[in-house]
Amino acid sequence: MFTRISAQEAQDLITQSQAQVVDIRDPQAFSAGHIPGAVLLNNDNLQHYVDSADLEKPLLVCCYHGNSSQGAADFLNSDKGFAKTYSIDGGFEAWKMGCEVEA
């Protein structure tokens, strides 16, 4: 089970607990801008990422607008063993609007 959180709550989690961040947008969008410290996650590097990640550390999943990240967060939690996964409501667009200056 994943949890939906706002961009500001995501920023707070990153600041407080050193949460991991993955971005599931396309490489061009990721290159144009992303949450600091985020890892671009796709089918090509998924298993490598899972094998090297800390499954106990909170994992934030970011997409364009917060829709695709919900399915990805659920998958990473239930199928890949991450203890706590979060989908950022509004995705990177919400992050840009409210958190980018603080990041």
- Choosing from 41, 63, 76, 94, the catalytic residue is 63
| Residue 75 in tokens | 């998958």
In Å, how far are 3, 37, 80 from 66, measured between CA atoms? 12, 18, 20
How far apart are the C-alpha atoms of 9 and 91, rounded to whole Å?
12
Residue type, 71: G
Is 63 known to be catalytic?
A: yes
Vertex 98 angle, CA 53 and 100, to 5°: 60
Report, as residue numbers or ranges, the catalytic residues.
63
